Amino acid sequence: MKLSQMLLGTLREIPSEAEIPSHQLMLRAGMMRKMASGVYNFMPLGIRVVKKIENIVREEMDKSGAQELLASAILPSELWKESGRWEVFGPEMFKLKDRNDREFCLGPTHEEVFTDIARNEIKSYKQLPLNLYQIQTKYRDERRPRFGVMRSREFIMKDAYSFDKDEKGLDVSYKKMYEAYNRIFERCGLKCSCVEADSGAMGGAGSAEFMVKSDIGEDEIVFCTQCDYAANIEKAPSKPELGEKEELNALAKFETPNVRTIEELIKFFNTTPKKFAKTLIYKADDKVVAVMVRGDREVNEVKVVNEIGGAISFEMANESLVKKATSAEVGFAGPIGIKVDFLLVDKEIVNMYNFIVGANETGYHYTNVNYGRDFEGIVGDFRKVVEGDTCPKCGKKLTIARGIEVGHIFKLGTKYSESMNAVFLDENGETKPLVMGCYGIGVTRTLAAVIEQNNDENGILWPVSIAPYKVIVIPVVSKNNEQMSIAEDIYNKLSQNGIDVLLDDRNERAGVKFKDADLIGIPIKIIVGKKINEGMVELKFRNENLSEDVEIENIVNKIIKKLKK
């Protein structure tokens, strides 16, 4: 493409709306423009990269044996009501009605649709295994869209759904996707970690996320400092810190007027947070759940929800509910005498001695509390892992980093096939529910993540595999006919060899041309300048500071060879 004819809207200034490098650079390089909050138009340079990522995804999915299809994006509410998710999604789902008042949504994900397809199309075990995928525009009405396409409301996703006759088959399908995902991200030039993720009430190693480390990530990932263990913090199991064994003292009630927070308690009792157990109260659908963790710990809500068998809504209890459960003002909750549906006790509490808890009475705390003697509950792992905790695999120290999820593979099992009656006849003529997996890649988010990992102060550094154009030919002085003619010749030859190449034939200063080429991140620059008098052009790679002079007659072959590698 000749730049003089291309719609290239590069910006020198950083748009004030953009907080992170990928968002800034996608705007500055003219790859996209905002249409509405969290809704973007991909401009010519942007859509080229999207298509290249899509093609890599498509090739690797096909190679893994998956079959592409394309479901509709507007989806009738009936399907979602069948699975029970019409209400679950809440305001995150774009809902609409057609002219006959029938309810639809814009698909935020497609488990229901693919389960519906499967129950209509799959009759027999002979049709299994089957993996169906699509590359499609998805819609989620995010409460706070931000960071450009990193968290947008309209985005492109590859979603796949596998169907197997049993768990063993699912393991194979899941592994194929794991391998395909690794190949996809590697080919896109993205460094990411596959981390264990929460898989809901199912348990097991049934879910993994492909995470890109980044300070702006919404997820916290736990890594071992020694071994290869990595997990989403939602999933990472905690090891209890063992308290020193003590003689059990007699339970005592203490007047603690206006002492409610852990900080106030520490001061009041002149001790450490490790001597307290805090009791947090949640509302899970119509149940009330109390969770106890050590004073300096945080509750892992995902672990809690899994323990109680799942919940559609889960949130901190409001004041009136706390009062009802504890018969006291907020700040005095404790396990003894609390009126809740579930009392969950983090296992660390069991190894604490003579600790302090709220007395469920305004202005009072108990001291010398001990698990087993003074109260009992459901003991389990309910706290968040923290920096320095013990690795569950090798026992060394854990560290925590933030991450962006670019892919997710998930063993669904029979969750949807059972609720939607997607069954098949097995070898013995018995009706069985299909065993499903689902697998997603955020295509547009992957694009942004690649930029997050590949940029410098001058702009983007595209990996060759997904660069919008691989080469840019720059005649230093466009008005110099000799330079322009040599540049055009190189450009034409590269084009004829099927290489995506740009010719910067604009009547602009050399500085502007170089700045734009760097900003839009073209991996290879061929500069046609004064040295043509010596029969040379300059070859420069975006990711290297060095440049080399190459004979004009050799440059095309050199590039072709370079790109074949």
* Residue 374, both tokens: 């003074």
Residue from 86, 104, 147, 181 that binds its own copies (CB under 8 A)? Answer: 104
Compute the CA torsion angle 441, 442, 443, 447 (nearest 10 deg): -120
Sign of CA dihedral 9, 24, 404, 346: negative
Q: CB-wise, 129 or 217, nearer to its own copies?
A: 129
User: Pick from 15, 124, 127, 394: which binds its own copies (CB under 8 A)?
Assistant: 127
The Cα–Cα gap between 14 and 29 comes to: 10
Query: What is the dihedral sign for C-alpha 215, 220, 225, 230?
Result: negative
Q: Of these, 56, 113, 192, 441, which contacts its own copies (CB under 8 A)? A: 113
Smallest distance from the beta carbon of 12 to its own copies, in angstroms?
A: 15
> What minimum distance in Å lies between the beta carbon of 97 and its own copies?
8
Residue whose CB is less far from its own copies, 74 or 394: 74
Of 88-96, 169-177, 199-207, 405-413, the segment contacting its own copies by CB under 8 A is 88-96
CA atoms of 524 and 535, how far apart (whole Å): 20
Cα–Cα distance measured from residue 34 to residue 41, given in angstroms and rounded to the nearest whole number: 6
Q: Nearest-CA neighbor of 88 among 170, 200, 197? A: 200
Cα-Cα end-to-end distance for the chain? 24
The residues in 513-532 that bind its own copies, with binding defined as CB under 8 A, are none
Give the interface segment with its own copies, choosing from 39-47, 329-337, 370-378, 384-392 (CB under 8 A): 39-47
Torsion of CA 481, 486, 489, 493, to 10 degrees: -160
446, 350, 467: which is closest to 404 by C-alpha? Answer: 446
- Site map 233..272 versus its own copies, x via CB under 8 A: ----------------------------------------
Compare residues 44 and 380 and give the one whose CB is closer to its own copies: 44
* Residue 226 touches its own copies, criterion: CB under 8 A: no
Nearer to its own copies, 452 or 500 (CB): 500
CA distances to 109, 122, 134 from 72, rounded to whole Å, are 11, 20, 10
Shorter beta-carbon distance to its own copies: residue 63 or 339: 63
Cβ pair 522, 542 in contact under 8 A: yes
Is 379 a binding residue for its own copies by CB under 8 A? The answer is no
| Whole-angstrom distance, CA of residue 539 vs CA of residue 519 | 18
Q: Is 512 in the site for its own copies (CB under 8 A)?
A: no
Does 94 sit near its own copies (CB under 8 A)?
yes
Q: Is 146 in the site for its own copies (CB under 8 A)?
A: no
Dihedral, 435, 61, 233, 403 alpha carbons, nearest 10: -160
Please list, in sequence order, all residues whose beta carbon lies within 8 angstroms of the beta carbon of residue 562, skipping any fewer than 6 positions away: 524
DSSP 155-187: EEEEEEEEEESSHHHHHHHHHHHHHHHHHHHHH
* Residue 17 contacts its own copies per CB under 8 A: no
Identify the residue among 49, 53, 57, 117 touching its own copies (CB under 8 A): 117
Write the binding mask 150 to 179 for its own copies: x where contact by CB under 8 A, - elsewhere. ---xx-------------------------
Give yes or no for residue 461 binding its own copies (CB under 8 A).
no
Q: Which stretch binds its own copies (CB under 8 A): 6-14, 404-412, 467-475, 532-540?
A: 6-14
b/e map 56-95, b = 16+ CB within 10 Å: bbbebbeebebeeeebebebbbebbebbebbeebeeebbe
Instruction: Please check whether residue 404 is in contact with residue 219, taking contact to mean a CB–CB distance below 8 angstroms.
Output: yes
Q: What is the footprint of its own copies within residues 19-38 (CB under 8 A)? A: 33, 35-36
Contact status: 6 vs its own copies (CB under 8 A): yes
Positions that interact with its own copies (CB under 8 A) = 1, 5-7, 9, 33, 35-36, 39-44, 46-48, 50, 65, 67-76, 91-92, 94-96, 98-99, 102, 104, 106, 113, 117, 120-121, 127, 130, 132, 134, 137, 139, 141, 143, 153-154
